[in-house]
Amino acid sequence: MSHCYRFDHFELRALERVLYIGGQPANLGARAIDLLLVLVERSGRMVSKSDLLDLVWPGLVVEENNLQVQISALRKVLGQQAISTIPGRGYRFALPMVRDDDSLPSRFTPMASSATDALTQSRPAENVLSVLPSVAGRLWGRDPDLAALHREAHHPLITIAGPGGIGKTAFALAAAHAWCREHRDGAAWVELAGITDPALVPTVVAQAVGLPSDGADPLSSLVAALRPLQLLLVIDNAEHLIDAVARMVQAITAAAPGVRLVVTSQLALKLDNERLFRLNALSVPEPGTALDQAMAHGAIALFADQAQAADRRFALTEANVEEVIALCHRLDGMALAIKLAAARLPLLGLQGVAARLDERFKLLRSQNSLAPPRRQTLMGTLDWSHDLLSPDEQTVFRRLCVFAGGFNLQLASAVAMDDSLDEWAVIELLGALVDRSLVAADGADVPRYRLLESMREFASLKLDTSGEHWLMKRRHVTTVAALMEQAYAAYWRTPDAAWLGTYGPEIDNVRAALDWVMAHEPSLAVDMVGASSPLFLLLGLAPECRRRCLAVESQVLAMPTCAPVARYWLERSRLNWGVSNTLMHDFARRAAEQSRALQDEVGRYLALRCMAGSGVLPPAQAKNLLEEMIGLEKPTWPPRLRLQRQLATVSVLRSGQQLEQAQRVCETLLSHSQANGLDAVVSAALADLAALSLAVGDPDAAVQHCSDIIARGRHRRDNFILHAMAIKATALFMQGDDEQARGALVDFAAASRSRDWEWFGLYSGLFALLAAIEGRHETAARLLGYADHAHQQLGSRDAQVGQAWERASSLVNAVLPLATTSRLACEGAQMAPDAVCHWALARVDV
């Protein structure tokens, strides 16, 4: 049986050791034929120079130039493209080849037990291509991602997708170095960033791998040359040539099963056999994370490494880690942005870099002139991505920048639509932007989308250039305003969890819209602040909403009687519960007057609830208001609305010291609110039950109710947790457990501080009591002055709070002269909450 290899118009007969050209023997010497047989039998694989010398000149010591002479002789006959040189490594036979019979090996084909096979197994790296760029440094923060990618390694095609600057290239390079020895023919790296002609893609890949490329049909030639190989082929930066890369990859995976492909791109190839691996930003710790824990996050570790490379004096410490965390948050954990920011440290310092992030596109520039232009600046990276978009994609992209904190599909459509882009067009374009990694989707059942901060800043620049800035901001405001009107109507008939799930994510959009209208159209803010008040309340952001209400008060006072004004005064009253009983009553009275004039029974009912529950009115007058509420109430009203009367009733009964009745009403309120999923009302009822338990002398029950509220507060931002902590401290004082009471007050102070000192004044007498019990009488006197001033602003004093104040006052007056306590009280009345905490929680008088 004749054993031969056919390639192009050549035929190499192994047994005869003759090369035929068009049926005629070629004029080649024995060494050239031996060399050709070694290369052909390893077609497509790199053979090292040392192995060629051992196989072609066995047992002889020859110079390497002998090998070069024979290679030249072969190329003269076969053509230059027939044998590829792997610089510094060896050679590869590169022509597509057909072998007629595999049953008769030549003397140059090693058997499984041969010495050559042993050499191959013991020195695999010498027979492996591995044409990979070197790794520039450690890959920080990507170990979990590399482990996840490794679990996908059995797939023939993996696309690593992510936005520009996220670190796809470095990540893919690290993976390639880790995987290259798993492939008989190693790994090859193909960089496409500099290629603009799609037709050149197969040729560029062939050149990178060292294979021939047929000018007439380069793709077929490439696929044929790859067919016998076992190779890892990495194609970097494919997004601008995505269709050409997809066609090539599909052909390779179909015809060359030994080739595994890894592609980096800003969007997927969308092939059936593709495994998409989304590379997300480097992890950034939450504010307040300790130094050692922060360093476990990729963004912080990368910044520290790059900062020390730029300035060896830099050290990440407990003193500056919080600032670095904040900086990395603002940079979205984007690897390129972090590197560019760290490089600015020697010139600007950490604070200077952070202060100039609002001008990030001027700040984040590389000093490395050898880097590709698009990687020298953050602007260059984003410009590259933006230029790949269609005009409609660019339009939607820039319009989406008006959203803050993300958006849903409905909001995106409402803002981005115009006469030429209907809702479905916007949906399709948004999908394209997600595919291109310019918009992030959270993967929830109902997806939420967002632009990373750098993307949003870039899109904002494009929006300014387009001349659409004012139009889009105004459209964003009207869209958010309409959403909040919908939210306000739904609030009264929807359980808290479902309502917050729908509207809670939009709080940053509400803030952005309110900021814009206050600066440009303040009259629109009155309606919006009233409609969004329940959102601020349920998110534990009442202090912020009070400030926003105050900012539009002058607008309201200039407006005639109307529904937005009536709602404004109603919501402002609700926002002042437990903060200022006097203001709560006064605002509710205005709301009642407006609602009566507008014949708005629901608005009037709610205003009466706030007036009756304010604690300002005499019990008899408050009960009259409750009777008026009964006359207005409709059985068809939703549960949240009807339960407002029970809330007011509990307050009125407590004020009149009808404690047992108040407890019964409160238990009914608790049952109904639990049955209807009204979490905030549940917490309010538990807080009232805790206070009532104290009032009837049952501190154990009070502690239990408070513990229930605190446990609930772990899963939701519930301001009633403040009541729970303070009432728990009061109960512990009653039980004589002063040390546990101190701990509860420490927790209360921290929670109140995080909520802009919400309800701090209401319970400030407890701090005076703590200092008095611990024998720090001068501090207690100061704190009594603060508490007295706070209660005057509140307009009334809860019975249990009053008892704490009186007990502390008694302890102080028993030790200090009246003149001293008066002087210290005057000093305390001027103190800020932070100072109160400092004095109260010190173990000795400061």
Q: Is the per-residue pLDDT at 346 higher than 90? A: no
> Radius of gyration over alpha carbons of the chain, in Å?
38
Q: What is the pLDDT of residue 764?
A: 92
Q: How far apart are CA 737 and CA 699, in angstroms?
A: 11
What confidence category does residue 364 fall into, taking pLDDT thresholds of 50, 70 and 90?
low
Under DSSP, is residue 265 helix (H, G, I), strand (E, B) or coil?
Answer: strand
**Strands of the 83-86 sheet, one edge to the other:** 47-48, 90-93, 83-86
Under DSSP, is residue 480 helix (H, G, I), strand (E, B) or coil?
Answer: helix
Instruction: For residue 219, count other CB atoms closer than 10 A to its CB.
Output: 20
Paired sense of beta strands 440-441 and 274-278, if any: unpaired
Q: What is the pLDDT of residue 111?
A: 32
| 529 touches 574 (CB < 8 A) | no
Q: Is the per-residue pLDDT at 485 higher than 80? A: yes
Under DSSP, is residue 552 helix (H, G, I), strand (E, B) or coil?
Answer: coil
φ/ψ of residue 131, rounded to 5: -85, 75
What confidence category does residue 794 fall into, taking pLDDT thresholds of 50, 70 and 90?
confident
Tens digits of per-residue pLDDT, 87-113?
Answer: 556 788 888 777 765 433 333 333 333
What confidence category does residue 121 fall into, taking pLDDT thresholds of 50, 70 and 90?
very low
Nearest CA among 654, 638, 658 for reference residue 687: 654
Q: What is the pLDDT of residue 380?
A: 76
Q: What angle do CA 462, 463, 468 make, to 5 degrees?
A: 145
| 257 touches 156 (CB < 8 A) | yes
Give 579's DSSP letter: T
Least confident of 19-23, 237-241, 295-299, 555-559: 19-23
Higher-scoring residue by pLDDT: 845, 379: 379
The encoded tokens of residue 483 equal 């959403």
What confidence category does residue 522 fall into, taking pLDDT thresholds of 50, 70 and 90?
confident
Q: What is the pLDDT of residue 14?
A: 82
Residue 391 carries which side chain, given as an amino acid letter? Answer: P
Give the mean model confidence (pLDDT) for residues 279-293: 91
Q: Is the per-residue pLDDT at 758 higher than 70? A: yes
Tens digits of per-residue pLDDT, 171-199?
Answer: 999 999 888 888 888 889 998 987 889 99
DSSP codes joined into one string, 176-239: HHHHGGGSTT-EEEEE-TT---GGGHHHHHHHHHT----SS-HHHHHHHHHTT--EEEEEE--G
User: Model's pTM, two decimal places?
Assistant: 0.74
Q: How far apart are CA 704 and CA 693, in angstroms?
A: 10
Q: Is the per-residue pLDDT at 1 higher than 50? A: no
Q: What is the pLDDT of residue 846?
A: 56
Tens digits of per-residue pLDDT, 132-178?
Answer: 887 767 888 888 999 999 999 989 999 999 988 888 998 999 999 88
**H helices within 576-719, ranges in order?**
581-598, 601-613, 619-632, 639-655, 659-675, 679-695, 699-713
Q: Residue 413's beta-bridge partner residues?
A: none
Q: How far apart are CA 290 and CA 286, in angstroms?
A: 10
Q: What is the pLDDT of residue 799?
A: 65
Long-range contact list for 120-128, CB < 8 A, 24+ apart?
124/181, 125/181, 126/48, 126/50, 126/51, 127/45, 127/46, 127/47, 127/48, 127/51, 127/184, 128/46, 128/180, 128/181, 128/183, 128/184, 128/185, 128/186, 128/187
Residue 679 carries which side chain, given as an amino acid letter? Answer: D
Q: What is the pLDDT of residue 124?
A: 36
How large a percentage of the chain has pLDDT more than 90?
Answer: 53
Q: Is the per-residue pLDDT at 841 higher than 80? A: yes
Q: Is the per-residue pLDDT at 716 higher than 70? A: no
What integer best gives the mean pLDDT of the chain? 86
Q: What is the pLDDT of residue 792?
A: 82
Residue 341 carries which side chain, given as an amino acid letter? Answer: A
Give 667's DSSP letter: H
Q: What is the pLDDT of residue 57?
A: 85
Q: What is the pLDDT of residue 3?
A: 65
Under DSSP, is residue 760 helix (H, G, I), strand (E, B) or coil?
Answer: coil
Q: Is the per-residue pLDDT at 365 higher than 80? A: no
Give the mean model confidence (pLDDT) for residues 513-534: 93
Paired sense of beta strands 10-13 and 4-7, if any: antiparallel
What confidence category does residue 350 fall into, taking pLDDT thresholds of 50, 70 and 90?
confident
Paired sense of beta strands 231-236 and 187-191, if any: parallel
Q: What is the pLDDT of residue 372?
A: 52
| CB-based burial, 647-678: b 16+ in 10 Å, e otherwise | bbbbbbbbbeeebeebbebbeebbebbeebbb
Give the mean model confidence (pLDDT) for residues 650-654: 92
Q: Residue 277's beta-bridge partner residues?
A: 160
Q: What is the pLDDT of residue 128?
A: 43
The encoded tokens of residue 39 equal 């290369």
Give 401's DSSP letter: G
Give burial (CB, 10 Å; 0-12/13-18/19+) of 422.
exposed
Helices first, then strands: H and E counts in the chain: 41, 15
Instruction: For residue 162, count other CB atoms closer than 10 A to its CB.
Output: 22
Residue 101 carries which side chain, given as an amino acid letter? Answer: D
Q: How far apart are CA 588 and CA 573, in angstroms?
A: 5
